[in-house]
Amino acid sequence: MIVNESVTGYLASLAHDIPPALEKLRVKARQEHVPIIRDDMLEFIRFVLLKEKPKTILEIGTAVGFSALFMHSVVPEAQITTVEKVEMRLKEARKNLDGSGITLIEGDALEVLGGLKGPYDFIFLDAAKGQYSSFFSDCRRLLAPGGLILTDNVLLEGTIAESRFGIERRDRTIHERMREFLHELTHTEGLVTVIVPVGDGAALTYKQ
């Protein structure tokens, strides 16, 4: 947790309800340890979507479809495409997304993204953290001018601020890759990025 528990708890008390079917899915996903979006991040996305009213949305990392269905509940008129590669998750996602109008692409985003044309007004990047840099050139190409990319989990539970030597050996690669990725996001001409300590850290990037 990046922000202390009492602040997070207080902010949760201000959060909006979600539709009952989504609430059921949230409870089930948590019980089954599916890594779905955190509540404070939901509020953040809700704000951005209501403000931006994207017509097209691409999500990388469906899991069981919770965040895709949440985005659909906020902007039902948007066309949402979501990508997932793990069969165990896909099995649930197919059921949950059935009839929603959301397009589920089954496959590794590393291969799938190259075949997409876009443009997308809003891209939610919420997949393997170590691969964010590899997804990014396609995300940039697929993003409409003026569009937004929201990348989740960029602060790695706060460990992003540690020096390499303060990080467990097994987590060093992901730590190094995330730092490189955040540097790229904040130092690439034509992109404007703000990093905020919401959820597990979110980077919001705007293409000029």
Ligand X SMILES: C[S@@+](CC[C@H](N)C(=O)[O-])C[C@H]1O[C@@H](n2cnc3c(N)ncnc32)[C@H](O)[C@@H]1O
Residues that bind ligand X (CB under 6 A): 35-37, 61, 63, 66-67, 83-86, 89, 108-110, 126-128, 131
Token output for 160: 């992003």
Token output for 77: 């008129």
* CB 156 within 8 Å of CB 178: yes
**In angstroms, what is the minimal distance from the CB of 84 to ligand X?**
5
83/104 Cα distance (integer angstroms): 6
CA 61 to chain centre: 7
Phi and psi at 75, nearest 5°, equal: -130, 75
**In angstroms, what is the minimal distance from the CB of 145 to ligand X?**
25
Tell me whether residue 121 or residue 200 sits nearer to ligand X (CB atom).
200
Tell me whether residue 115 or residue 166 sits nearer to ligand X (CB atom).
115
**In angstroms, what is the minimal distance from the CB of 25 to ligand X?**
9
Tell me whether residue 24 or residue 146 sits nearer to ligand X (CB atom).
24
**In angstroms, what is the minimal distance from the CB of 170 to ligand X?**
18
The residue nearest ligand X at its CB is 61
Burial of 56 from C-beta contacts in 10 A (0-12 / 13-18 / 19+): middle
Tell me whether residue 88 or residue 165 sits nearer to ligand X (CB atom).
88
Q: How far is CA 86 from CA 90, 91, 136, in A?
A: 6, 9, 20
Tell me whether residue 121 or residue 138 sits nearer to ligand X (CB atom).
138
**In angstroms, what is the minimal distance from the CB of 194 to ligand X?**
21
